[in-house]
A and B are shown apart, each in its own frame.
Chain A
């Protein structure tokens, strides 16, 4: 597991959720810019938690507001040895 893997998983679920091609998702845009709001954030949080079998905070989306920052946070908290 590394940050890159997490970034591509997050890109995938954001692309599906917002109905955009995965190549158009930039990991440095904010979730808000990518078209997410506080409701689909609830859903994506649940998907990510289940996918990695971890617990995240609903505020992580806002404290780490880009795919890259969020992926680093997940990696740092749950996978870094």
Chain B
């Protein structure tokens, strides 16, 4: 059997053993499925910075080809293409910089602390029992609530969108099945339908309003379809990643008996190390533009490359005792990538996790994992817990 079994149960529970085995075999590992998986810190960093030879957009290309293919089989998945057309993480230069700058210009307002804190309070107040599923009662609702506040959307819209965000994120995953395409398409349809209305008639306040106004002031430089897709991207990119990171962070702190360290260390430092130790984005795709040689490893043109950020962040050549949480190491992790596609929402992810951890610690100083089994979702690119039962003891 190949070392690369990302759909196995063992991998879902602990992918780090596989990452390590693959890195030891070869830092640029050719899988049976034909992708080159890169697990070495310096090589991953090099590739992320090399936008000429390593293009983004494998999943977009693959989905677009699938849509054409399945059309001939009588299945219409065209909503997926509409939904993801302006997902900037899948777009190459020169269009990429233009779109990215446009979003940054509209997204000036970074004063979201009060929104996040308020959402945390609401969610904590709603927790009634001493034993509760942290995902269901806190980690899953917080990020989409916050994004809806930022976009200017009301509670009803939040309710109807949050599950679609969870489903839509599969569009960025690897090794999809037909049923995944069906679900992604359902959610894409729902998103496109809802955001079309909001782009046509934006809420009085919030990021959608600012995007639409900015676009008008630039004489409609983006089409309505592009604006719709940007809104979907902002929602989807900010939802599942933060749900993942928040729940993994709580899990890792409790599992390693580090919960009380929230008293001893600066939360920012804790978060930085947790991003290195077990970050939400495990895998990112690239395509080689031409034949490339990476420190002696040859990759042919048009190959799929899987950058394993989570493995790079555990590379023993870069981090001493990488499998150990160490708040004093001052890590330069790659959890948000690096180079021209560096995560646009890193500050929001960090801020949300920081405010949430501090609020939770204040309310639940005695928090413990329960005996109940953990459950991981069946997804690779963004690894995330599906259930995490916790117990509060005063």
Contacts and interface: CB of A to CB of B under 8 A. Distances in A.
A63 B32 CA distance: 7
A2 interface: no
Interface residues of B, number: 21
Interface string B26-48: 00000111100000000000000
B341 to A, nearest CB: 24
B7 A38 contact: no
B178 A45 contact: yes
Contacts of B2: 63
A38 B178 CA distance: 12
A63 B4 CA distance: 10
B69 A58 contact: no
A43 to B, nearest CB: 6
A70 to B, nearest CB: 13
A38 B70 CA distance: 13
- A contact patch SS: helix
A28 B391 CA distance: 55
Interface in B150-205: 175-179, 181
B138 to A, nearest CB: 32
Nearest to A46: B178
A40 to B, nearest CB: 7
Contacts of A45: 177-178
Contacts of B347: none
16 contacts: A39-B65, A39-B66, A42-B177, A42-B178, A45-B178, A46-B177, A46-B179, A57-B7, A58-B7, A58-B175, A58-B176, A59-B5, A59-B6, A59-B175, A63-B1, A63-B32
